[in-house]
Amino acid sequence: MFEVIGERINTSRKLVQAAVAERNSDYIIDDVKKQQQAGANYIDVNAGARIGHETEDMKWLIDTIQPMATIPLTLDSPDPAVLEMAFKMVETTPMINSISLEKERFDAMMPFLDGKECKIIALCMDDNGMPASSDDIFGRAKTLVEELNKIGIPTASIYVDPLVQPISTDSLKGVMVLDAVRAIKAEFSDVHITGGLSNISYGLPQRKIINRTFVSLMMDAGMDSAIIDPLDKKIMATIRTADMLLSHDNFCMNYLKGVRSGAIES
């Protein structure tokens, strides 16, 4: 089944930042409850936007969310020290967001990840910048999987992010990432594919219909996870429907549950 990483608890969002600054636990708890009810499988927690306050903000968010969360957390920070602190706090195996092949980030994250039981989002980014071709994405993904395997992270715990890029700048960007995902899954059948989807529609009108169509195409190519807003009812309905059509929903039970609850409407 497709896994949704709920993206809403991020201090780059003005309302979340205000709630964190004011230690408004009711706002955070209510938002997490809504994401869980909407079908999120993970809650991404990012406290990086308030410069100089990330450590205490992350600690407060975990203290606030963990007692009522029914799903695991995704610990989201570029700072291994913040992640180490957060990792020690969580009671359920978390997801770590993220590692890349950028030398500074890679060298900092590998010692942190060594020996830990966790899931890890691996970005197909290196010091040359964004990937320029499907072969480029595949090559970076292969290196990430192999390097993470060396420190004991099993392939099934790795979530490769192929880095979706705007199709408005190059009409081949959609096909490029779809081809890359197929190649990655052919080489590493146990690896997961995740990432944000909204970059595909950047600069174009009616972005939501582009995003919903694209997630269906990505799921057919092998994507089985995404970092999205689970309160976007239409994209969640699209994901559930595509899961069913791709034979990932036994007896259509998840689809039928969504219809009965009103989450899926025509």
**Cα 97 to the chain's mean position, in Å?**
8
Res 146: pLDDT: 98
Contact call for residues 125 and 101 (beta carbons, < 8 A): yes
SS3 76: strand
pLDDT in tens, 210-235: 999 999 999 999 999 999 999 999 99
Token pair for residue 152? 């004991």
pLDDT tens for each residue of 111-148: 999 999 999 999 999 999 999 999 999 999 999 999 99
In this prediction, residue 180 carries a pLDDT of: 98
> What is the Cα–Cα distance from 167 to 210, expressed in whole angstroms?
10
C-alpha closest to that of 163 among 141, 146, 143: 141
Structure confidence at residue 266 (pLDDT): 80
Going from N- to C-terminal start, the domains of the chain cover 3-261
Residues of the chain with pLDDT under 70: none
CATH superfamily of 3-261: Dihydropteroate synthase-like (3.20.20.20)
Sign of the C-alpha dihedral, residues 126, 132, 137, 143?
A: negative
> What angle, rounded to 10 degrees, do the helices at 54-65 and 80-89 form?
20
| Residue 171 and residue 177 in contact, taking contact as beta carbons nearer than 8 Å | no
DSSP per-residue codes, 131-180 = --SHHHHHHHHHHHHHHHHHTT--GGGEEEE-----TTS-TTHHHHHHHH
Q: What angle do helix axes 233-245 and 207-221 make, rounded to 10 degrees?
A: 30
Which pLDDT score, from 0 to 100, does residue 179 have?
98
Question: What does pTM read for this prediction?
Answer: 0.96
Query: Helix (H, G, I), strand (E, B), or coil: what is residue 8?
Result: strand
